[in-house]
Structure 1
Amino acid sequence: MRTANLLLRFVLEVCALAALSYGGWQAPGPVWVRLLLAIALPLAAATIWAQWVAPKARTPIPDPLRLVPEWVVFGGATIALVVTEHPVPAALLAILAALNRLALHLLGTTTGGQPAV
Structure 2
Amino acid sequence: MKSLNLLIIFLAELAVLGSVATWGFSLGTGWALRLLAGIGGPALMVVLWWLFGAPDAPHKVHGAIRVVFEAGWFGAGAVALALAGYAVPALALAAVVAVSKGLAVAWHQ
TM-score (norm 2): 0.94
Alignment partner, residue 36 of structure 2: 36
The code of the aligned residue for 1:79 comes to V
**Displacement of 1:64:** 2.4
Note if 1:72 corresponds to 2:78.
Answer: no
Alignment partner, residue 3 of structure 2: 3
Query: Hey, what's the Cα distance between the residues in 1 that align with 2:65 and 2:4?
Result: 24
Query: Hey, what's the Cα distance between the residues in 1 that align with 2:96 and 2:10?
Result: 12
SS in 2 for 1:65: helix
SS in 2 for 1:85: coil
Note if 1:88 corresponds to 2:92.
Answer: no
65-74 vs 42-51, which moves further: 65-74
SS in 2 for 1:93: helix
SS in 1 for 2:58: coil
Note if 1:105 corresponds to 2:98.
Answer: no
**Contact 1:52–1:61 (Cα < 8 Å) also in 2:** yes
Alignment partner, residue 54 of structure 1: 54
**Displacement of 1:2:** 1.7
Note if 1:24 corresponds to 2:29.
Answer: no
**Displacement of 1:29:** 0.9
Moved over 2 A (4+): none
- The alignment's C-alpha RMSD in Å is 1.0
TM-score (norm 1): 0.88
**Contact 1:49–1:70 (Cα < 8 Å) also in 2:** no
What stretches of structure 1 of length at least 5 have no aligned partner? 110-117
SS in 1 for 2:63: coil
SS in 2 for 1:66: helix
How many pairs align? 109
Q: What percent of counterpart residues are identical? A: 28
Higher helix share: 2
**Contact 1:23–1:81 (Cα < 8 Å) also in 2:** yes
